[in-house]
Amino acid sequence: MTKIEVYEGSGNIFADVGLPDAENHFLKAQIVAELHRLTTERKLTQQKAGALMGISQPEVSRLFKGHFREYSVDRLIAFLTAFDRDIEIVARPRDKRGKKAQRGHITFKPVAA
């Protein structure tokens, strides 16, 4: 019998595998997942979603396949606003009770319509 070691993840796969700039990459992935959800919910083709966001169908395809490193968070947020989504950024004091983080934490919470 082969023994398999299992580890509990942090919630950010990019940090768990040691990628640089993991917080930023995870935020982008969450935004892209929401863009995909909105596209699917509205039954849009990639062509129509691209027209809405101002990019081509092949760019939408690459984006939804996880190739979004070239897009800034700002640009991805602009794509969300193209879907008639309001974006709210909240800054609050860091919770000192948990693990002491080197930097602040960014959280993305999509709200269903």
Copy the structure tokens of residue 111: 């709200």
Average pLDDT over residues 96-107: 63
pTM for the full predicted model? 0.81
What is 73-102 written as a DSSP string? HHHHHHHHHHTT-----------SSS---S
> Under a CB-based contact definition with an 8 Å cutoff, are residues 110 and 86 in contact?
no
Residue 37: CB atoms within 10 A of its CB come to 13
Higher pLDDT, 57 or 13: 57
pLDDT in tens, 73-90: 999 999 999 999 999 888
Q: Which tokens in the block code for residue 7? A: 């580890």
- The confidence band for 7, taking pLDDT boundaries of 50, 70 and 90, is confident
Q: Which domains does the chain have, with CATH numbers?
A: 13-113 (1.10.260.40)
For residue 26, how many other CB atoms are within 10 A of its CB?
A: 19
